Chains A and B, each alone.
Chain A
Amino acid sequence: MIIRIDEMSDIPIYLQLRNQIVMGISSGELKAGEKLPTVRDLALEMGINTMTVSKAYQLLKTEGYIMTDRKNGARIRTEIKKEAYISDANKTELKRIVSEVRISGVPKQELFDLIELYWGGEQ
């Protein structure tokens, strides 16, 4: 899976990393039970601080996407908790996107097509 980090973005790198891994799980690029690189290896490969990777992994663990143990390192959870609701933060984010798209004159169907595409796993 390819991680894409925007150095000029306002979003912190640890959050960009977290988001990319979540998208990877959703699209199926990262499979259930798949081993993630160690914090050190990934930090070295990305040229970022180990604390940044550690923070992203910690967040993913708290959110229930990955599990970590000392012996096997970090892995994608085999059973990700399906709470079946959209968080308030995501609702706000979605509202912002819909508003921007609507103001810019994009037809509603185009947005639905995009959602369909992303839902299907393609990026």
Chain B
Amino acid sequence: MSLIFGIVMASILVPTLLIMSFILYPKNWKSSKLIFGVSMRKEYTEGDTAETVDKLYNTRRNQAKKFLLLSFIASVILLLLHGFILQTTLWMILIFASLLGLYIPYFIGNREMKSLKRALGITSEKISYTDMSAAGSIRTVKFSSILLPNLIGFICVLIAFFIDLKIIPLNSDLIGNFMGTGVCATFFVMGIVISVIAYLMDSLKNEVISSDSTINTNYNRARKKNLSNSIIAFLWLNAVLMVLSYVFSILMVSELFFIIGLILYIVILMAGIFIYASRNRKIENRYKKEMTIVEDEDDYWIGGLFYYNPNNKRLNISKRAGVGTTFNFAHPIGKLAGVLISITILATIVILVYMGMTEATPLKLKIENNKLICHQLTDDYIIDIDDISEIEWGEDVSNLRFFKVAGFGISNLYKGSFNVNGDNDCKVFLNPEEGSYIRIVTDEYTYYISASASDETRAIYDTLTKSK
């Protein structure tokens, strides 16, 4: 299981890093529109300056290559590790470190290019260009084309919901715990989020590259058409994989199919992003000769990555480094988004620390004041002994079939709401590696519990049977 998890994480990380390096560090900087987030100028490609830029560029590019290589080696090492929480924590650290590592040479390169620009006496004119004929007229994302895949997604969620409510009869152990509805809803929400992003990107400012409006219109339409085609392809992929995931994971009751589907989904998604990015580059190359107007916004791009322009009232801006759109962090909503992103990153770290502490803390069972308490970091379950209607000793937990609904479901800890042998109303608090367990039935739930040590579990079982 941990190997499969590692493969999933590697299938996310490796293509992401490859795409990022392809976008941030193109082989030939002279044919790029930007050098480390600084607008390309004719002055950079001439005489001694060209040599300086070449040296600077290759130094930072080689550093990024080394980071990339280190990240790939680290990914292979992590594939060999065991222990879910340890693996998750290390994968998260690796993802953060790899992205940061890939961006550090870019940040430094951006600073160096800005210094060079100042040394050459080039100052930002702070002039913005707008093509009047493009205002509000270049739109390629059509509502009708994104409606159908989202509608299919919505219908799937409804069907899954009705199946879980048993309004639509279907024979499966996993029906009734809303896991299938959850899977479909996740894909559906993903489709809606992507549709919103598509609309935002479609309404991005049209770039002015020439004094000829026809060239500007064709250039912007080509870029937006590429985006719209990619989004529609993604939405259909999302809808198809939603249906397949539901069928395989719920009806065939196989987690393996679900994981294979997930890996396939990520790989296709990454391939799609790569195709989108390479097509965009082709468009840039095609219009390179026509580019006579360069809008210098270098000073508004902090590190070539974060856009901060109080003079611009737009919230969403086309990314300089990467694919898609980013916020104008000078906009009030942009500031709020910045805070939320920071909170999300901090929350991820806190959750990982909490998960690590949970995995390291042994499971305890104790009886106090006629109550059975299942304690790990906190009192997870408190069961009134008088409410217990049935107690059963189980020798081998591997005879049971567990499906997690909510909570922990890792190799040495099952904790939370589970479907056990087709029963949805189960609370689980056990270490599946220990083997023995106690099954407790109350009016409300069926509990499957154990302490970290078998003899401790047995002692609690004996006490409970005596007191009943």
B127-159 contacts to A (CB < 8 Å): 127-137
Contact B203 A44 (CB under 8 A): yes
Contact A5 B127 (CB under 8 A): yes
A37 adjacent to chain B (CB < 8 Å) = yes
A16-49 contacts to B (CB < 8 Å): 24, 30, 36-38, 40-49
Q: Which one of B32-40, B277-285, B306-314, B403-411 is at the interface?
A: B306-314
- If A1-B213, A44-B136, A47-B313 touch, does A6 touch B126 (CB 8 Å cutoff)? yes
Distance of B311 from chain A, by nearest CB (Å): 5
Contact A3 B132 (CB under 8 A): yes
Interface string of B192-205 (1 = CB under 8 A from A): 00000000000101
Pick the most buried of A2, A3, A8, A41: most chain B CB atoms within 10 A of its CB: A2
Measured between alpha carbons, how far is A6 from B124 in the docked complex, in Å?
A: 11
B76 adjacent to chain A (CB < 8 Å) = no
Measured between alpha carbons, how far is A38 from B208 in the docked complex, in Å?
A: 19
Distance of A74 from chain B, by nearest CB (Å): 11
CB contacts (< 8 Å) of A82 on chain B: these are none
- If A3-B130, A8-B126 touch, does A43 touch B206 (CB 8 Å cutoff)? no
Contact A2 B211 (CB under 8 A): yes
CB contacts (< 8 Å) of A37 on chain B: these are 132, 135-137
Pick the most buried of B130, B136, B311: most chain A CB atoms within 10 A of its CB: B130
CB contacts (< 8 Å) of B128 on chain A: these are 4-5, 7, 46-47
Measured between alpha carbons, how far is A85 from B132 in the docked complex, in Å?
A: 30
B125 adjacent to chain A (CB < 8 Å) = yes
Distance of A38 from chain B, by nearest CB (Å): 6
Measured between alpha carbons, how far is A44 from B132 in the docked complex, in Å?
A: 11
Closest to B203 in A: A44
Measured between alpha carbons, how far is A8 from B130 in the docked complex, in Å?
A: 16
- If A2-B293, A44-B203 touch, does A7 touch B311 (CB 8 Å cutoff)? yes
Contact A47 B205 (CB under 8 A): yes
Distance of B278 from chain A, by nearest CB (Å): 28
CB contacts (< 8 Å) of B129 on chain A: these are 2-5
CB contacts (< 8 Å) of B125 on chain A: these are 6, 8
Distance of B134 from chain A, by nearest CB (Å): 7
Closest to B309 in A: A47
Contact A2 B208 (CB under 8 A): yes
CB contacts (< 8 Å) of A30 on chain B: these are 132
Closest to A38 in B: B136
B95-132 contacts to A (CB < 8 Å): 125-132
CB contacts (< 8 Å) of B314 on chain A: these are 44, 47
Measured between alpha carbons, how far is A45 from B208 in the docked complex, in Å?
A: 11
CB contacts (< 8 Å) of A3 on chain B: these are 129-132
30 A-B interface contacts by CB (under 8 A): A2-B129, A2-B130, A2-B132, A2-B213, A3-B129, A3-B130, A3-B131, A3-B132, A4-B127, A5-B127, A5-B128, A7-B127, A7-B311, A30-B132, A37-B132, A37-B135, A38-B136, A41-B135, A41-B136, A42-B130, A42-B135, A43-B313, A44-B135, A45-B131, A45-B206, A47-B128, A47-B205, A47-B312, A47-B314, A49-B313
Which residues in A have some Cβ–Cβ distance to B below 8 Å?
1-8, 24, 30, 36-38, 40-49
